[in-house]
Every structure is written in structure tokens, then in C-alpha cells.
Amino acid sequence: MTSIQVEIQLIAAVTAAACALPGVFLVLRRMAMMSDAISHTVLLGIVLGFFLTGDLASPVLIIGAALTGVLTVSLVEVLNRTRLVKEDTAIGLVFPVLFSIAVILISRYAGDVHLDTDAVLLGELAFAPFDRFTPFGYDLGPVALFLMGSILLVNLAFIFLFYKELKLATFDPGLAAALGFVPGVLHYALMGVVSVTVVGAFEAVGSILVVALMIAPPITAYLLTDNLARMIATSALIGVAGAISGYWLAHLLDASIAGSMAASFGLIFFVVLLLAPRRGLFATALRRVRQSGEFARTLLIIHLLNHEGLPEAEQENNMEQLHEHLRWEPDFTVRTVRQAVQLGLVSRLNGHLVLTESGRGFARQAIVR
């Protein structure tokens, strides 16, 4: 690995971790699409900041972008509060307007400047290491690494400091308001953090893939754990894993790094979706099969118990006719009986089924339950 390759991976990993942290709360608060809206509208902030300073590297651009992010959220809220449109429609109305204004401003007044909408939307991670951070002539590393590193620290600090408040406002906004935690303020603070992260990240990966970085790791982690702290940590880890594997996928295929990162997040999600220990599709299917077997066995022993010692037991508990009485498929009946025998719940006695001692106990318990 060359040092450039290491640096690209470092930038990718730090960016992914920085995005995954606020992403967790977006996903839990059902505001995932707000990241999509913000990632489009920050373009307006960047353009306006550029007109103000005439400098594409100025920090004013980041502040402007963060402010437009918050503006987006408040416009959506204002529209939503009129109750004339639903929230999803409000988002769908607001961000195209701000984005259109930005595109028109660029094409009319900044056409000859290097404010390339493609670059903003798509980003190019491969070029990030060439922009060096050189205070007083010392080359400390790529600017992007420092920028995303500081954003990661800010996000970590935000979540660490306001963990309790965020948790409460996310899962029980009513209680949070009643206890005086001003969920509204926290909401805007979170949106501010999201905006800053989006701005920082899309220089590296482009605005649309910021959405992948913000949503894919948290929803993958959501399938793995029920604990908020663990979900945050898992998201960050998945973010880093996806970023690095995405880089190598791009290397292997000689394709766009940002695109490959998104694709690798898709793959990770798919694998987790299939194999997650408790919520995965396999685990769920397996559990369903096991439960249906268990249910059938319980039904069988209750049936045996009901007719035990009665005159009709001869007929009811006969292996040949059992499936008719239980209204089961013959195959299924044979399978269930075999399992029940293996588990020592029933035993066969010349063509009849008899409950064992433990089988009788289980059946009685099942009835009581």
C-alpha cells in the first residue's frame, strides 16, 4: 500500500464513522430522508458562501451550508405545521426549490468559476489526499482528514454530552418535553450537526453517497442490537468496515470509490439481513419452523392426554388414524410423532401412542398455560 492509499482509506473510514453517529438518530427518529434533503440543499449554502467570500476554501462556506441545512429543516417544519401538506410532501417540496435556486445561481453567476455541481454531488475521494494541510510549511496530512477528524470529534462530543437527552427525546418526546428537556432545541442541534457532517463529508464522497453513509450503517446495526449505545458503536464499526471494503472493491474493479463504498454498504446490509442472529431472515425462518414443530408436539400430547384412559383412546390415539383426528397431513404427523418420541414425550405401544411420565407433565402444564 502506498501512503496515498492509506490516506484515502483513513479519510473514508473517518468520514463513514462521522456520518454513522448522527445517522443513528436520524434512523430512529424516522427522519432518514431529511439527510437526503439536507445533502441537496447545502449546495445553496455553499454557493451563497462562495458569493460572499469569493473563496472556495473559506470556512464561511461550511457555516453557510450548515445554516441552509437548518433552514431546510425549519421550512419543512413550517410547511408541516400549516397542516395543508403531510410531512413527506413538505420535504419533497422544500429541497427541490432550494436546490433549483442553487443550480440557477451557479449557472448564471458562477459559470466560469470552478464550482462544479458534479463534483459537489459526486465527490472524488481519490483526489482528497492531494489537498494538503500545511500550517507554517509543515505537511501534516490531507486537509480532508483533519476536517472530517474534527467533525467526528464534534459528533462524538455531541452524542457523549447529550446522550441521555437524545435518548429520551428519541424514544419518548412527550416525556422529554414534560421533564423540561426542550426536545425542539435538541432537534435543531441534531440537524445542525447533521448539516455540518453532510458538508464536510460530501467534499469527499459527494452528497448522494453521504445519504448512504448516514443511513446504511445505522439500519444494519438496527438489525443486530436493541441497545442504543451498542447500536451507535456498531454503526460506527460498520461504517468503517464498509468504507474500507468499498475502497478495495473500487481498487479491484478500478471503479469510482464513492460508488463502490455505497455498493459495499448494500452488500453488508444484505448479508446482515440474511444472517443476523435474531432478526435475520434465516434466523426468523428457522425460529418459525422450530415454533411450528413445538406447537404441533404440544397439540399432540394434549390430544393424547385428553383421550387417555377413555374408551375411545383405542381409536383416537391409533397411529393409523391419528392424522385424521388432528387434521394434519400424514407426513407431518409422522414427523411430529417421531420428534415427540425422540424427546421422550410419548412412546409407541403396538400401534398406539402412550404418553410417558414427562409427556403427561408437559401436557398438563401446557393446558394450564
Using an 8 Å Cβ cutoff, are 289 and 315 in contact? no
Decide: is 219 part of the binding site for other proteins (CB under 8 A).
yes
CB of 298 to other proteins, least distance (A): 27
Decide: is 35 part of the binding site for other proteins (CB under 8 A).
yes
CB of 91 to other proteins, least distance (A): 6
Q: Which of residues 237-256 bind other proteins (CB under 8 A)?
A: 250, 253-256
Those residues whose C-beta lies under 8 Å from the C-beta of residue 286, and which sit 6 or more positions away, are: none
CB-based burial label for 342 (10 Å; 0-12, 13-18, 19+): exposed
Residue 167 vs 325, nearer CB to other proteins: 167
Q: 77: closest CA among 46, 31, 44? A: 31
Could you tell me which stretch among 61-69, 98-106, 172-180, 289-297 binds other proteins (CB under 8 A)?
Answer: 98-106
Q: 236: closest CA among 222, 223, 217? A: 217
Those residues whose C-beta lies under 8 Å from the C-beta of residue 325, and which sit 6 or more positions away, are: 303, 316
Q: 206: closest CA among 140, 245, 249, 261? A: 261
Q: What is d(CA 62, CA 147) in angstroms, rounded to the nearest whole number?
A: 11
Query: 122-125, long-range: CB within 8 Å, 24+ apart, which pairs?
Result: 122/206, 122/208, 122/209, 122/256, 122/258, 123/202, 123/203, 123/204, 123/205, 123/206, 123/207, 123/209, 123/258, 124/206, 124/257, 124/258, 125/8, 125/11, 125/12, 125/204, 125/205, 125/257, 125/258
Decide: is 103 part of the binding site for other proteins (CB under 8 A).
yes
Q: 145: closest CA among 11, 5, 2, 4? A: 11
Decide: is 261 part of the binding site for other proteins (CB under 8 A).
yes
Decide: is 27 part of the binding site for other proteins (CB under 8 A).
yes
Looking up cell 410531512 gives: 87
Decide: is 281 part of the binding site for other proteins (CB under 8 A).
yes
Those residues whose C-beta lies under 8 Å from the C-beta of residue 118, and which sit 6 or more positions away, are: none
Decide: is 85 part of the binding site for other proteins (CB under 8 A).
yes
Decide: is 91 part of the binding site for other proteins (CB under 8 A).
yes
Pick from 18, 42, 263, 346: which binds other proteins (CB under 8 A)? 263
**How many residues at the interface with other proteins, by CB under 8 A?**
61
Pick from 119, 121, 302, 326: which binds other proteins (CB under 8 A)? 121
The three three-digit cell numbers of residue 150, written as one number? 474534527
Decide: is 317 part of the binding site for other proteins (CB under 8 A).
no
Pick from 2, 3, 57, 108: which binds other proteins (CB under 8 A)? 108
Decide: is 214 part of the binding site for other proteins (CB under 8 A).
yes
What 3-state DSSP class applies to 318? strand
Decide: is 161 part of the binding site for other proteins (CB under 8 A).
no
Pick from 4, 56, 74, 88: which binds other proteins (CB under 8 A)? 88
CB of 99 to other proteins, least distance (A): 6
Decide: is 117 part of the binding site for other proteins (CB under 8 A).
yes
Could you tell me which stretch among 161-169, 176-184, 207-215, 354-362 binds other proteins (CB under 8 A)?
Answer: 207-215
The three three-digit cell numbers of residue 175, written as one number? 416525556
Residues that bind other proteins (CB under 8 A): 27, 30-33, 35-36, 40, 79, 82, 84-86, 88-89, 91-93, 96-97, 99-101, 103-104, 107-108, 111, 117-118, 121-122, 208-209, 211-212, 214-216, 218-219, 222-223, 250, 253-256, 258-263, 265-266, 269, 273, 279, 281, 284
